[in-house]
Amino acid sequence: MSTTIPLVDLAAQHEEVADEVAAGWARVVEAATFVGGEEVEAFEEELARFWGVAHAVGVGSGTDALEMVLRAACIGPGDEVVVPANSFVASAAVVARVGATPVFVDVDPVHLHLDVDALAERLGPATAAVMPVHLFGELAPLEDVAAVTEGRRILIVEDAAQAQGATRHGQASGRVGLAAATSFYPGKNLGAYGDAGAVLTNRSELAERVRLLGNHGSATRYEHRSLGFNSRLDPLQAVVLRAKLTRLDQWNEARRTAARRYDELLGDLPGVQLPATREGNEHVWHLYVVRMAERDRVLARLHREGVAAGIHYPVPLHLQGAFRALGHRTGDFPVAEASAARMLSLPLHPYITPDQQERIADLLRQEVS
Ligand SMILES: Cc1ncc(COP(=O)(O)O)c(C=O)c1O
């Protein structure tokens, strides 16, 4: 496939921030502070302010951010953590990595977030945490999750990898739950130039523990209070993220405009289910995911025409080989399975043009009409 319409356009985005990034990288090189330092501290402060939480702790990736929250909360062997069946593998992998057991639940048929009724049924004495995933750029119904877990010693750990700038009833992730973890993987709404992530929380003690964990369990050089690992935000990435953060609201607004345009262009296509926004949510459209029965044929046509559409995600987590030991089989989570067969992520990013979107809509129309 020679791509004419990319899924995301990182080159165009780089052009906007190139001068700031070059100047910032020169500052880092001149100061020769290649771990930690002013750029990282400044970014953490700016991110916490943007997010509306007391603490942002930069780490090496979104996956590490999730794992470190679980470890900081002392979740481990014997504990269960409830995870939605449709997500990126990291949401559940971190649970297994800390020695706990991922317990999958199905997703709701409209927004594909963790189904709160299914969650209520799966809570048990070993449930230590629930991980709502703010999939595709909108927040899961946290107040419903909180209502179901209320009065029990169950933590809410939010996977906000895809929800940078998203709010529910005016508030970002990481406030209802113990903490939120986000990813700055390059294609995210706020993406670094490599791997990076952060933990967002109002809990000072949790933020402090995550910081210790990511720095070999050490607050003072060569004194190690606990076993940790090495997962710190790189100052060169902090420079990129600082430059991009000042533009994130504007980029998210451009994504909303593009999503509305798809809604208009695709609204009358037979058999195509458009994504819906949950009431009370400000969506940031990390992905624009339609659903249709002829998905594979349509995707093949888009690829032949140079349109880099994708699938998020083609195999639900309970059917992944990595979780074979849990003993799930096809049919266990029908909504996640049906959506995996029907979902199609259309290119959407701040630089997509109306012409490109019309071209994509035309191709879809030809295939489904
Ligand atoms: C929902 C979700 N969770 C977790 C992650 C893991 O983040 P990272 O790739 O930065 O480790 C990602 C992104 O890749 C994601 O989309």
* Of 247, 253, 299, 294, nearest in space to 272 by CA: 294
Distance 280 CA to ligand 1 centre (A): 24
**What contacts 24+ positions apart, CB below 8 Å, involve 268-277?**
269/361, 269/364, 269/365, 269/368, 269/369, 270/368, 270/369, 271/368, 272/364, 272/368, 273/342, 275/136, 276/110, 276/111, 277/138
Among protein residues, the one whose CA lies closest to atom 12 of ligand 1: 161
Q: Is-contact 112 136, C-beta < 8 A?
A: yes
CA of 362 to the centre of ligand 1 (A): 32
Tell me what pLDDT residue 1 has: 57
Token reading at 148? 């179901």
Q: How far is ligand 1, taken at its centre, from the CA of residue 273, in Å?
A: 25
Global confidence as pTM:
0.97
Q: What is the pLDDT of residue 226?
A: 86
Ligand 1 atom closest to 185 (CA) = 10
Q: Quick one: which atom of ligand 1 is closest to the CA of 312?
A: 16
CA of 60 to the centre of ligand 1 (A): 12
Q: In degrees, to the nearest 5, what angle opens at C-alpha 256 toward C-alphas 250 and 260?
A: 150
Contact 65, 160 (CB under 8 A): no
Question: Which amino acid would we find at residue 143?
Answer: E
Protein residues whose CB sits closer than 6 Å to any atom of ligand 1: 61-63, 87-88, 90-91, 133, 159, 161-162, 183, 185, 195, 197
Q: Extract the tokens encoding 83.
A: 């995870």
Best of 63, 83, 195 for a ligand 1 pocket test (most atoms within 8 Å of beta carbon): 63
Q: How far is the CA of 177 from the centre of ligand 1 (A)?
A: 18
Token pair for residue 38?
């002013």
Which residue is listed with tokens 């459209």?
285
Q: Give, for ligand 1, the residue of 138, 185, 317 to mutate: max count of ligand atoms closer than 8 Å to Cβ.
A: 185
Name the DSSP letter for residue 325.
G
From 183, 195, 241, 311, give the residue whose CB has the most ligand 1 atoms within 8 Å, as the site to mutate: 183
The span from the CA of 28 to the CA of 154, in Å, is: 42
Question: Which residues lie below 8 Å from residue 327, measured CB to CB, with a gap of 6+?
Answer: none
CA of 286 to the centre of ligand 1 (A): 12
Closest ligand 1 atom to 135 CA: 1
- Ligand 1 atom 4: residue of nearest CA: 90
Residue 133 alpha carbon, nearest atom of ligand 1: 1
As a whole number of angstroms, the distance between CA 275 and CA 198 comes to 28
Q: Of all protein residues, whose CA lies closest to atom 7 belonging to ligand 1?
A: 62
- Model confidence pLDDT, tens digit, residues 171-202: 999 999 999 999 999 999 999 999 999 999 99
Atom of ligand 1 nearest to the CA of 66: 4
Q: Cα(287) to centroid of ligand 1, in Å?
A: 13
Closest ligand 1 atom, residue 197 Cα: 10
Ligand 1 center to 358 CA (angstroms): 30
Q: Is 342 helix (H, G, I), strand (E, B) or coil?
A: helix
3-class DSSP assignment, residue 42: helix
- For the record, the structure tokens of 9 come out as 């356009």
Contact yes or no for 272/290 (Cβ under 8 A): yes
Q: How far is the CA of 275 from the centre of ligand 1 (A)?
A: 21
Say how many Å lie between the CA of residue 141 and the centre of ligand 1.
20
pLDDT given for residue 81 in this prediction = 98
Give 63 Cα–ligand 1 centroid separation in angstroms: 6
* Nearest atom of ligand 1 to the alpha carbon of 63: 11
Instruction: For the chain of 369 residues, list the mean pLDDT of each consecutive stretch of 10.
Output: 84 96 98 96 98 98 98 98 98 98 98 98 98 98 97 97 98 95 98 98 98 94 90 98 98 98 97 97 98 97 97 97 97 98 98 97 95
Q: What is the pLDDT of residue 2?
A: 64
